[in-house]
Amino acid sequence: MVSEDLFQRAKRLIPGGVNSPVRAFRSVGGAPFFVKSAQGATLTTVDDQELIDFVCTWGPAIHGHNHPVIREAIAEALGAGTSFGTPNPYEVEMAELITRMVPSIKKVRMCNSGTEATMSAIRLARGFTGRDKIIKFAGCYHGHADSLLIKAGSGALTHGHPDSGGVPASFARETIVLPFNNRTAVAEAFAANPGGIAGIILEPYPANVGLIQPDPGYLEFLREITAREKAVLIFDEVMTGFRLARGGVQEIENITPDLTTLGKIIGGGLPVGAFGGRAEIMECLAPDGPVYQAGTLSGNPLAMAAGIAALKLLDDDAVYARLAKLGAQVQSAVSTALAAKGLPGQVPQTGSMWCTYFTAEPVRDLDSAQTTDAAAFARYFQQALTAGVYLPPSAFEACFISTAHAGTSIDRACDILSKTIAAL
């Protein structure tokens, strides 16, 4: 197998043989495959296996792979050069698109990844408020910046401890990790740190632990308490932004955060990130204000051209209606198969995002998500992969659907997943 040979070569030179840990298949077993091409909803491996792809580049490929409009936009931009190190017209058009489609964003700064976006938003919140502490929620992932690689301690008010080697304990002490969907924990954290909390950062629909929905009224509660405490509310919509609605979760839930972080779809498949929000907060950024943030390739013309094309393709309510219909089709097929087999399971789904938990317990936070049967998921993953469907290689990741899945791809995938569950 060519993939096996490539993986052995990679392991000699790349830590773990991969450039992002989840790709190593450690939690599902076996060795990763390598992809030589992708088109529409299909990946083709170097071993010539065709796979219906529900990872979609971990979210950006909402139009499927190698979409002709996006490819042509990149080609046109490429003809003028790959990078300038100066302002370029694409940056302005991107800013206009983002601020029109996400009304809470009055000003926006481009960067190169979701991690850069969340790291910068946290720094900006601290600079704007003059406070140090940040609240995050267990199970919400915000990239690999030091102060955000923190997990919860044993109590609701326990300061986090490093969730990675190389993160100083002093950094962790400035991050308060709380259980998601727990109002009391948030109120107690503010009471225990009067005037000390710069802001709250969260995935409004946590999707790096499967897919969790906020309790009714929970996001409104977070908006109210941060406004009252003069703290900054940051929605990390790197994953959900432009995927679930043009305006992301904040449009669906009718919540106006102070800052929003974006990525994935706004790069059309190329590396990208952005953060934006209230003008008075964004004006604290250099060169206007004292909070420094910079990037050599920020606003790269190729990434901007690809992202502009991707966003323009989404500027139609019918697109989201079609994606939601596809999502509901998968959810129904998997839920029906679990019930027919008599397996405990839940299949949360919203729009073009879904996941499968092998647990009977309602999932509303990290602890309940971790009751899922990871061994059952690993068997499900491997059998689906063998049959031609690629799911995220982790029991704690969301699946994604693209417009390219419509028709034969979604029908075949639902049949494969149903048969896979029946065979577990």
pLDDT digits (tens, 9 = 90+) for 69-115: 999 999 999 999 999 999 999 999 999 999 999 999 999 999 999 99
Task: Between 57 and 147, name the one with better pLDDT.
Answer: 57
Domain 2-66+316-396 indexed as CATH 3.30.590.20? no
* pLDDT in the model for residue 240: 98
Mean per-residue pLDDT, 37-44: 98
Q: How far apart are CA 123 and CA 127, in angstroms?
A: 6
In the CATH scheme, what is the code of domain 68-313? Answer: 3.40.640.10
Nearest 10 degrees: CA dihedral of 107, 113, 116, 122? 60
Token couple for 375: 């061994």
Q: Helical H runs in 261-371?
A: 279-282, 301-313, 317-341, 366-369
Residue type, 186: V
pLDDT confidence tier of residue 161, bands split at 50, 70 and 90: very low
Span 279-298, average pLDDT? 97
Q: Using the predicted structure, report yes or no on whether residue 156 has a pLDDT greater than 80.
A: no
Domain boundaries, the chain: 2-66+316-396, 68-313
Q: How many whole angstroms separate alpha carbon 295 and alpha carbon 85?
A: 9
Q: How far apart are CA 37 and CA 43, in angstroms?
A: 6
Short-list 65, 400, 97, 101, CA closest to 245: 101
Average pLDDT, stretch 314-331? 96
Write the CA distances from 61 to 58, 114, 152, 401, 405, integer angstroms. Answer: 8, 15, 32, 8, 11
Cβ–Cβ contacts within 10 Å for residue 422, how many?
12
> What pLDDT, on the 0 to 100 scale, is given for residue 150?
67
pLDDT tens digits for range 114-147: 999 999 999 999 999 999 999 999 989 898 887 7
Per-residue pLDDT at 17 exceeds 60: yes
Between helix 408-423 and helix 317-341 the angle, nearest 10°, is: 20
Q: Residue 229, class by beta-carbon neighbours within 10 Å (0-12 exposed, 13-18 middle, 19+ buried)?
A: buried
DSSP conformation class of 213: P
C-alpha radius of gyration, the chain, whole number: 21
Catalytic machinery residues: 141, 236, 264
For residues 401 and 407, give the distance between their C-alpha atoms in angstroms, rounded to a whole number: 12
